[in-house]
Structure formats: C-alpha cells, structure tokens
Structure 1
Amino acid sequence: MGECPVSPRSVRPSVPLNVGARPARPPSWPKASQPTDVNRARRLPVPAHNSNYLENGRYYHGYRRGIYQYPCDEPEKDRMDIYHKLFSVARRDMLHQAPVPHSGETRILDLGTGTGIWAIDMADKFLNAEVLGLDLVNIQPERIPPNLRFRVPRDYESPWSLGEDSWDLIHLRMACGSVTSWPELYQKVFSHLKPGSGWIEHVEIDMQPRCDDGTLDPKGKLVQWYGYLADATWRVSRPIAYDHRTRQNLQAAGFIDIQETVIRVPYNSWPNDPHQKDIGRWYNLGITEGLDALSFAPLTRVYQWDLNAHVKPLLEGVRKEICNRKIHAYNNIHIWTARRPQQ
C-alpha cells in the first residue's frame, strides 16, 4: 500500500540493480552523440547580477549560474533541514564520527553548509571552537551562535584563503552533484587540515536504487529516473552518482586511518526493524518533497525536456513507487572519516 509524506512541521550494501543501460527515451531526449547537450546547459542566459531568478517555478541563485543545479528557495531549505533530520535519525543523533578536541583552538569547517543547520549544531556542541560554513548562496539564518560564521557566496572548488594546516575537522555532506573533481577537492581538504590531528568527514547518499528481493521493477520509473539523473549530471561534469573510488581518492590525497560506515536507507517504512522504519519515514519525506528540486534543472537544461510533457509525469511515477511499501527498495548512506598524518 502507499505511504504519503507528512510535513515535518505538524548495513550492508547489496548488489545494485543494473541501471547502466539507458531506458527508452521520450521522443525529445537528444541523442547521446550530440555534443550540444552540455553546451546548451552552459549557454543559458546569465543575469546581470547575482540575484535569484525563476526557472520552472523554482528560484535559483545567480552567483556563478550553472555551477549548482538545485534551487535556493524555501522548499529547498525545508528539504535540506529534512535531510539533516534524516541523517540524525540514521546516525542515532551523532553529529559526527571523526574526533574533535574539546579544548584548545579547535577549528571546524563545513563545506556546502546549506541552511547551516549542521554548523549551528556543532557550534552549540563545541562552544569554544571556531566554526565556519561556506556556501554558494546566502540561505543561512541571521541568529547564530557567537562562535559560528558563514562566508557566502563561496565556491569551495575555487582557491581557498582559509589557512592551511589549521583545521581540526573539515566536513562535507551531500556534495554529489556539485563537485567536478573529488581528487582535487580531497587534496585541498588535506592541505588545510592540521598535520597529525586533522580529520575529514564526508557523508553521501548513494542514490542508485537497490533491492534484495525482486520487488523493484528494473524497468520501472524509479530506476529510469535515476538513470536519467545520473546521465544528465554527468554530462555537465557534476555527477550526482556516488563515487565508488572514494577510498582510493582519499588514499591518493595522503589520508590515513580511513574508515567507512554504510547505513541502509529505505525509501519508505517497509522494513520491520523499528530503526529502519523510522529512517524510511524521514527519507520518504525528504525524497518525495525533493524530487522536483533534484530533477527540474538537470532534465530540462541538459535534455531540453518539456517540464509538463516529460519531467512531471516521470516524477509522478517515481513518487508512486517510492511510496509503495510493497517495493522493498533502498539507498545507502556512506560516511567516510580519514586523518591527515603528521608527515
């Protein structure tokens, strides 16, 4: 039976389904051989200033337009905060796994801070620490802890001027879809951590649909949607697909003590386990309310799809599948921690 999202206001991975083969295209999906897919996405008219602009009924920020493919409006801020709650539930209220010193000149950096909710919680927990959040767009609250600052607009793939060898923890979460080169970003993080004691903590959701019992149709809307989204974001060099080379990339950057934690994230409350059921309720809310935000820009800009003729009907089918408790599908959260060595 279906499961309807409710407003927040009122592990071990299996073998994934094969989504490498593209499903049948709607008539307007351009051929893969056409080189204009990426160029069209990059040649959209650019506003004369950095103010937000309306596209497909959602507001996007004008700063370096096209770098970030997702909205910056009130529904998107709600989605970010829902996902923060999801991570809190999935991690049993753990804000972080990497060690953070409670004394001394502790410095914590949050890359892609979004609404700043994680940074705010960390600033409240570590009252003597300096906490800094970076983001492309100013959607953070004005009232914040005194030991917290935000720097916006800031693109963390651009050169930093934040002090090398000086951070105890550098955190990033849900960055897939925003990063062009993980090796370069990890190297930048490495050089800014304190030698011997600085840690990176990187948290991602692998959005590739998984199912262990055959209840998910490999030709259904959910699998199709993920295939389209992964391809569209790959074409603009910011793939939303989880990078399975994370361990190798961290090692190549020089990190040691590399640890990975994987948590299963059901699409809804289908599991019998109470904790998994609770995770599923929050993930269902986050992803059903976030489908438009994730999909509108990649699918209309890259494929030139019509929003009403192609995108919205596809997303309606996806919502039905992820709310169906007879479909036992899930994603995985990956939590990576690693330390910069002394030498």
Structure 2
Amino acid sequence: MANDKSKSSSPAAEQSPPRDPDSPGEALLEAGDDDSALGVTDDELSTASLRSSIYEYHMINGRGYHKDEKYWLPSDQNESERLDLQNRQLLLTFGGKRYFSPNAETAKRVLDVGTGTGIWAVEFADEHPHAEVFGIDIAPIQPDLHLEPGSWLEVIDPVFPAKSEDGTLKPDSPLHRWDELTAKGALALGRPFDEGVNHEKRLKEAGFVNVTRKAFKWPTNTWPKNPKFKEIGLWTLANIERNLETISSFLLRQGLGMSQEEMLVFIAEVRAEMRNLKVHAYWEVFVVTGQKPEEQA
C-alpha cells in the first residue's frame, strides 16, 4: 500500500474536520435563517483534482464504468474524487471518528471492503502502525477470507428516500421521486442500493452478537442552522450533485428505460430542489456494528 495519502479539498475547508465527541446524528435539525430558493452556488462546490484509480472499465455516456455492467457507479477520475470527498464528509458526520467498532484501537488485522481510492485504509494505517490493513473493492475475494471469532464487522450505508421533519419535502417533489425511481432502477438491474435499513436485521440473522445501529443525518444542502450540519450539507450537495447525471443515466435510462431528454429535464428539477434552502430535507446514514461470536470451548 502506498504511503502517500490522496487528498481532497473540502468545499468549506482543506483540513480534516476536528474531532467532536458529540454525535451529529443525535442533534435536532433546525433550519437556518437563509430561506433563499436560489440556494447554493457552484463556487461553493469546487474541489481540487485528486489522483485517479485504475480499473477495468467500459464507456457509457462518456463515463468509465467497471466491466460488471450492473455496478451503477463509474470507475473513473471523477468518481475517485467523489469517493475521497465522501470520506471527508463521513469523517465530519461522525465527529472525527473513523470507526465505531470497539476493538478497532487494538485490532491487528483490518479489512476495508469497498475501499474505493483507499483513503480510509491509508489514514487508518497511519494512525495505527501496529495494525495490518487491507483494502479490497470490485474484485474476486479469496474464499478463505473471514472474520475471526470475537472480531467485529462494521457497515456504513445511507438510507433512501430523503425525508424532512417539517414537511417541506413533498411526496411528489422531484427529489423524492428521484430517490424512488433510482431505487427502482437499481432493483431492475439486480443491484438494490436501499438495503441500509436491513443490515441490523441481517447481522442478527447471521448469528452476530452485540449488534448496534447508530443513525446520522446528511442534510441536502446548507439549510440547517447548526454550523456542523450546515457544513455536512455542503459536503452532501457536492457529493450527490456531481454524480447526479451519472447515477441517473445508469439507473433511470438503463434500469427504467427513460429517454435522454426526459432524464435531463428531470435531473434539472432534482438539482434545483437539492439547492433550494426552503426544502429542509436530509438522508439518514446508518452505522451498524456486530461481533462474530467467540467459539464455544
């Protein structure tokens, strides 16, 4: 694993967010004073170029995708940048924490599944030089790879669709319909992505013990009054908006057969709503941890 970290510049700051013992997921989202329908500007969303990742890929609508045509996110430079941005967004969301598994500080071997650009694995390894850290992504996994008894599994996933606590996100709104339609498109392609709500149940069914779930919130833009949520919202908008057309092209066009013209009109409406500070919407993010039982003597 390379020693050089890949770096991303935050829309709000260039350094990693400070550690905060308070979980942002437990705070009440409150709208700020700026209710402009104009919303967030492009200048707030600029990011610096990051290193590229090399994958086997083919081209769809000008973007490079992995050879597995059912994987609905690209595998190109733009996606590498977005993944590093998302890593910083999660770090801010979790109050500076990289993990919630209780044995992470003393773990000798750590596996990052879906490692992306490897930024989390590299930074974890830098902070824990005693640990052997592995990162894997879309690739065959060795059949003998498994958790040791007593080890922990941690799963992080966003939950769809978006919701609002004050009713400003309407059921027939473009953003709500986009959430629903992309979920249907992913299901049609055999790659459902709205499984975050099921991880806790499935870990328990698989025999894991000490299973817990923590819930966090990703505001759609900078509408919250709370400064931390406001910054998280800026990250969310930068994260989702930069891939809005890419995700839609794959899931709406290939999954549901939507025409190019219809899709472009639709995502323009979605983008406008995502930037609208009068719409106080957010996605939930679940962190589920569970322990593989110790072997019986």
Say whether the fold is shared (TM-score over 0.5): yes
> Is 1:102–1:128's contact at 8 Å kept on the other side of the alignment?
no
The percent of aligned pairs where both chains have the same amino acid is: 30
* Aligned AA (1:79): R
The reply to whether residue 315 of structure 1 matches residue 267 of structure 2 is yes
Q: Which residue of 1 aligns with 2:163?
A: 210
Pick from 48, 54, 57 the counterpart of residue 52 of structure 1: 57
Q: Which residue of 1 aligns with 2:137?
A: 135
Q: Which residue of 2 aligns with 1:3?
A: 40
**Within 5 A, what are the aligned runs for 1:6-155?**
6-9=45-48, 51-62=56-67, 65-100=68-103, 102=105, 106-136=108-138, 154-155=139-140
Q: Which residue of 2 aligns with 1:180?
A: none
* Aligned AA (2:210): D
> Is 1:84–1:118's contact at 8 Å kept on the other side of the alignment?
yes
Q: Which residue of 1 aligns with 2:28?
A: none
Return 200-209 or 243-252, whichever deviates more: 243-252
> Is 1:229–1:240's contact at 8 Å kept on the other side of the alignment?
no
Question: What per-residue deviation string (whole Å, max 9, x for no partner) do you get for residues 166-220 of structure 1?
Answer: xxxxxxxxxxxxxxxxxxxxxxxxxx11212x00010011131101112122211
Tell me by how many angstroms 1:221 deviates: 0.9
- Aligned counterparts of 2:210 and 2:118: Cα–Cα separation in 1: 28
**Aligned partner of residue 228 in structure 1, secondary structure:** helix
Tell me by how many angstroms 1:51 deviates: 4.1
**Within 5 A, what are the aligned runs for 1:218-237?**
218-237=171-190
Tell me by how many angstroms 1:101 deviates: 5.3
The reply to whether residue 253 of structure 1 matches residue 290 of structure 2 is no
Pick from 127, 130, 154 the counterpart of residue 201 of structure 1: 154
The reply to whether residue 269 of structure 1 matches residue 222 of structure 2 is yes
* Aligned AA (1:161): P
Cα pair distance change 1:117/1:162, threshold 3 Å: farther
The reply to whether residue 326 of structure 1 matches residue 278 of structure 2 is yes
Tell me by how many angstroms 1:54 deviates: 1.5
* Aligned AA (2:40): E
Tell me by how many angstroms 1:325 deviates: 0.6
Tell me by how many angstroms 1:258 deviates: 0.9
Q: Which residue of 2 aligns with 1:161?
A: 143
Q: Which residue of 1 aligns with 2:234?
A: 281
Return 66-75 or 108-117, whichever deviates more: 66-75
Tell me by how many angstroms 1:260 deviates: 0.9
Question: What per-residue deviation string (whole Å, max 9, x for no partner) do you get for residues 253-304 of structure 1?
Answer: 1111111110111101111111111111111111111212322111221222
Tell me by how many angstroms 1:67 deviates: 3.5
Cα pair distance change 1:327/1:102, threshold 3 Å: closer
> Is 1:210–1:331's contact at 8 Å kept on the other side of the alignment?
yes
Question: What per-residue deviation string (whole Å, max 9, x for no partner) do you get for residues 130-164 of structure 1?
Answer: 1111112xxxxxxxxxxxxxxxxx145xxx3344x
* Aligned AA (2:101): A
- Aligned counterparts of 1:121 and 1:59: Cα–Cα separation in 2: 27
Structure 2 unpaired stretches of 5+: 1-35, 50-54
> Is 1:59–1:71's contact at 8 Å kept on the other side of the alignment?
yes
Tell me by how many angstroms 1:73 deviates: 1.1
CA-based RMSD of the aligned residues comes to 1.8
Q: TM-score, normalised by structure 1?
A: 0.69
Structure 1 unpaired stretches of 5+: 11-49, 137-153, 164-191
- Aligned counterparts of 1:72 and 1:331: Cα–Cα separation in 2: 24
Tell me by how many angstroms 1:8 deviates: 2.9
**Aligned partner of residue 210 in structure 1, secondary structure:** strand
- Aligned counterparts of 1:161 and 1:245: Cα–Cα separation in 2: 25
**Aligned partner of residue 334 in structure 1, secondary structure:** strand
Cα pair distance change 1:51/1:90, threshold 3 Å: closer
**Aligned partner of residue 184 in structure 2, secondary structure:** helix
Q: How many residues align?
A: 251
Q: TM-score, normalised by structure 2?
A: 0.80
Structure having greater relative contact order (Cα 8 Å, sep ≥ 6) = 2
Q: Which residue of 1 aligns with 2:23?
A: none
- Aligned counterparts of 1:304 and 1:100: Cα–Cα separation in 2: 46
* Aligned AA (1:90): T
